[in-house]
């Protein structure tokens, strides 16, 4: 404990009043019909961060009606790509202008470091700008080889009303992976943020109004999953649901949406391996492993929480990672020097710790950490940087999402064994490979069952590069051109030129 890097309470000024969040329905801000509210306290500082309108079925239904009326009116769905792009670009500028405000409430509600939250706001603005470019450049196909009297045209149209349900770990960033692409396609939307991090989505609603988005195109309903999310998933007026969160909830959404056969896009969990071959650059690999497991306190679907390292270099890698882990700054999220903040809830912290305790009982060794972290001046929920070695493939810590700052280390001897360990999992979100041999990297990348494979790096991402998982990590894709396609329907137009069709019914 004393050898770890801990950032004590910074003494940064905390807001005197909580953020007040309301629903955005049909272009107006509303309290819940029940007049009920719910509170969110900071997991790091304990202060009341926000007080939000508590939505219920009737509030969600009103939002869905507003979205449906907006879409059917064509006030957004049938305007030009240029006009849609203009609004999205204004929204991106406003995000940048309000980045500090967005970052502060994200930090207070989620416990993530303020520096990271600012970076995510800036990155989200980039997503909005990229989506704006797609609004102007998306197109279909034409077929003029069907004969002299026929012309075929394939067009892409917005799918309709989209329910967007976002998680707590990257509330504003993941909204940016979904909403601007749905808007670029011409859809109208109903958004439900997590009840633990609702406020940055409300701010986004304010910015969209300022950017000139027509009323009813984006509607926001705050509240809990069963009442609000359940309605958004099952309503027949909704054409598509896009959800990011746990695999268990994703399965329930898919089952509920099947009653109306609406489209479902799911970005779910991951147990993402980084595979380190003996010829890897150990210094770079160790740094990337350390980043991959502690980024966002490990509360990340892309967390590199499962390391598969060649047994010849395992001791070297573990020694390097443990040394680097001691230098990672854990503590007060409001201090710009902090790299890892608080855990989202006490209950989740207990779940993280239970995985470590169970692994110990099963014979694994805790090489570092493995306990609650005390931060001077703060009474929030923090967990130590933790490295667990001697993990075997059957242990829960090797197969299930811990969703915390806990690294599991397994070893291998051959490429075949490394691939078997990589693919022997229900998830298939991302993977990484470390080797100075390009042939090793290419073979692993092609055979790994993952939606994204990083080579000699970890978690680099760009708006142009599509993201999504295989197996139980989800279905559908986000960002990039394929991310836009998720929100589009393809329609074929078959046109005969002139009166050249021979009659089917004989005359006389």
Query: Tell me, what's the pLDDT at 500?
Result: 87
- Helix ranges (DSSP H) in 142-234: 171-185, 199-211, 230-234
Decide: residue 253, CB within 10 A, 0-12 exposed, 13-18 middle, 19+ buried: buried
**Catalytic (active site) residue 301:** yes
Whether residues 236 and 321 fall in one domain:
no
In the chain, % of residues over pLDDT 70: 100
Among the listed residues 187, 189, 300, 301, the single catalytic one is 301
Whether residues 379 and 405 fall in one domain:
yes
Tokens of 82: 């240029």
Q: Map residue 299 onto helix, strand or coil.
A: coil
Whether residues 69 and 191 fall in one domain:
yes
Per-residue pLDDT band at 2 (split at 50, 70, 90) = low
Domain presence at residue 64:
yes
The CATH code of the domain that includes 261 is 3.40.605.10
Whether residues 478 and 407 fall in one domain:
no
Q: Which of 12, 113, 120, 43 minimizes the C-alpha distance to 336?
A: 113
Tokens of 30: 């509303």
384-402 average pLDDT score? 97
Whether 69 contacts 237, CB under 8 Å: no
Give residues with Cβ within 8 angstroms of 370, minimum separation 6: 353, 356, 360, 384, 386, 388
Whether residues 264 and 348 fall in one domain:
no
Interatomic CA distance for residues 318 and 449, integer angstroms: 25
Q: Is the pLDDT of residue 26 over 50?
A: yes
Domain presence at residue 498:
no
- Helix ranges (DSSP H) in 295-380: 314-327, 346-361
Give the residues across from 407 on adjacent strands: 387
460-485 average pLDDT score? 97
Query: Tell me, what's the pLDDT at 499?
Result: 87
308-340 per-position pLDDT tens digit: 999 999 999 999 999 999 999 999 999 999 999
Q: For the chain, state the CA radius of gyration.
A: 25
83-92 per-position pLDDT tens digit: 999 999 999 9
**407, 426, 455 - which closes a domain:** 455
Interatomic CA distance for residues 96 and 116, integer angstroms: 14
**Between residues 344 and 500, which one has the greater pLDDT?**
344
Whether residues 56 and 136 fall in one domain:
yes
Tokens of 379: 């009474």
Domain presence at residue 356:
yes
131-189 per-position pLDDT tens digit: 999 999 999 999 999 999 999 999 999 999 999 999 999 999 999 999 999 999 999 99
Query: Tell me, what's the pLDDT at 507?
Result: 84
Whether residues 438 and 309 fall in one domain:
yes
Q: Is the pLDDT of residue 1 over 50?
A: no
Whether residues 382 and 308 fall in one domain:
yes
Q: Map residue 405 onto helix, strand or coil.
A: coil
**Catalytic (active site) residue 206:** no
Among the listed residues 267, 401, 478, 486, the single catalytic one is 267
Range of the domain at 447: 273-455
Whether 192 contacts 232, CB under 8 Å: yes
359-375 average pLDDT score? 97
Angle at 308 (CA atoms; ends 305, 312), nearest 5 degrees:
140
Residue 225: how many other CB atoms lie within 10 Å: 17
Domain presence at residue 237:
yes
Give the residues across from 383 on adjacent strands: 372
**428, 455, 482 - which closes a domain:** 455
Domain presence at residue 1:
no
Domain presence at residue 507:
no
Whether residues 263 and 388 fall in one domain:
no
Decide: residue 467, CB within 10 A, 0-12 exposed, 13-18 middle, 19+ buried: buried
In the chain, % of residues over pLDDT 90: 98
Q: Considering its fold, how many domains does the chain have in total?
A: 2
Residue 457: how many other CB atoms lie within 10 Å: 13
Q: Measuring CA to CA, how many Å separate 146 from each of 153, 462, 498?
A: 11, 39, 14
Q: Map residue 39 onto helix, strand or coil.
A: strand
477-503 average pLDDT score? 95
Q: Is the pLDDT of residue 415 over 50?
A: yes
Whether residues 289 and 156 fall in one domain:
no
Rounded to the nearest angstrom, the gap between the alpha carbon of residue 195 and the centroid of all alpha carbons in its chain is: 16
255-297 per-position pLDDT tens digit: 999 999 999 999 999 999 999 999 999 999 999 999 999 999 9
Output the CA torsion 436→440→443→444 (10° steps): -80
Q: In what order do the strands lie in the sheet with 28-30?
A: 28-30, 23-25, 218-220, 188-192, 161-165, 240-244, 263-267, 474-475
Q: Map residue 73 onto helix, strand or coil.
A: helix
Q: Which of 194, 174, 199, 196 minimizes the C-alpha distance to 22?
A: 199
Interatomic CA distance for residues 158 and 75, integer angstroms: 13
Interatomic CA distance for residues 326 and 323, integer angstroms: 5
Per-residue pLDDT band at 242 (split at 50, 70, 90) = very high
Interatomic CA distance for residues 168 and 246, integer angstroms: 11
Give residues with Cβ within 8 angstroms of 66, minimum separation 6: 25, 26, 27, 215, 216, 219
Q: Is the pLDDT of residue 341 over 70?
A: yes
Domain presence at residue 5:
no
Domain presence at residue 171:
yes
Whether residues 294 and 164 fall in one domain:
no
The CATH code of the domain that includes 430 is 3.40.309.10
Whether 195 contacts 38, CB under 8 Å: yes
443-457 average pLDDT score? 98
Name the pTM for this structure: 0.97
Whether residues 203 and 295 fall in one domain:
no
Q: Which of 267, 128, 126, 103 minimizes the C-alpha distance to 199?
A: 103
């Amino acid at each position: 404990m004393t050898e770890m890097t801990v950032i004590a309470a910074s003494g940064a000024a905390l807001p005197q009043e909580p953020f007040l969040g309301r629903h955005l329905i049909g272009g107006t801000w509303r309290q819940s019909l029940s007049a009920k509210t719910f509170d969110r306290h900071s997991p790091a500082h304990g202060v009341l961060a926000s007080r939000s309108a508590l939505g219920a079925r009737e509030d969600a239904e009103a939002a869905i009606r507003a979205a449906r009326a907006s879409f059917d009116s064509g006030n957004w769905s049938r305007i030009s790509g240029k006009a849609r792009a203009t609004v999205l670009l204004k929204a991106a500028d406003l995000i940048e202008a309000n980045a500090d405000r967005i970052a502060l409430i994200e930090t207070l509600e989620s416990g993530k470091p303020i520096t990271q939250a600012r970076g995510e706001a800036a990155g989200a603005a980039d997503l909005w700008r990229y989506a704006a470019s797609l609004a102007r450049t998306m197109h279909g196909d034409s077929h003029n080889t069907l004969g002299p009297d026929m012309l075929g045209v394939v067009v892409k149209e917005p799918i309709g009303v989209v329910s967007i349900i976002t998680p707590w770990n990257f509330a504003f960033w993941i909204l940016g992976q979904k909403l601007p692409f749905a808007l670029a396609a011409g859809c109208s939307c109903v958004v439900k943020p997590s009840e633990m991090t609702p406020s940055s989505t409300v701010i986004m609603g304010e910015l969209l109004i300022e950017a000139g988005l027509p009323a009813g195109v984006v509607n926001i309903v705050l509240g809990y999953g069963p009442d609000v999310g359940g309605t958004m998933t099952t309503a027949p007026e909704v054409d598509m649901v896009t959800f990011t969160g746990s695999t268990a909830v994703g399965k329930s959404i898919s089952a509920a949406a099947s009653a109306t056969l609406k489209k479902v896009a799911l970005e779910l969990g991951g147990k993402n391996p980084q595979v380190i071959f003996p010829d890897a650059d150990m210094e770079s690999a160790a740094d990337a492993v350390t980043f991959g497991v502690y980024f966002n306190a490990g509360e990340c679907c892309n967390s590199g929480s499962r390391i598969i390292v060649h047994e010849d270099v395992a001791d070297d890698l573990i020694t390097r990672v443990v040394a680097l882990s001691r230098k990672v700054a854990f503590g007060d999220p409001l201090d710009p020097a902090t790299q890892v903040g608080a855990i989202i809830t006490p209950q989740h912290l207990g779940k993280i710790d239970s995985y470590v305790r169970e692994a110990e009982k099963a014979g694994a060794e805790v090489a570092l950490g493995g306990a609650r972290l005390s931060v001077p001046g703060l009474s929030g929920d923090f967990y130590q940087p933790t490295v667990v070695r001697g993990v075997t493939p059957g242990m829960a810590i090797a197969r299930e999402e811990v969703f915390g700052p806990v690294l599991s280390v397994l070893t291998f001897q051959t490429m075949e064994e490394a691939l078997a360990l990589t693919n022997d999992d229900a998830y298939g979100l991302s993977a990484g490979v470390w080797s100075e041999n390009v042939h090793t990297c290419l073979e692993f990348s092609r055979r790994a069952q993952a939606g994204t494979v990083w080579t000699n790096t970890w978690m680099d991402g760009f708006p142009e590069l599509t993201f999504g998982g295989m197996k139980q990590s989800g279905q559908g894709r986000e960002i990039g051109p394929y991310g836009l396609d998720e929100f589009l329907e393809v329609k074929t137009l078959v046109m005969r030129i002139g009166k050249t069709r021979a009659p089917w019914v004989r005359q006389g």
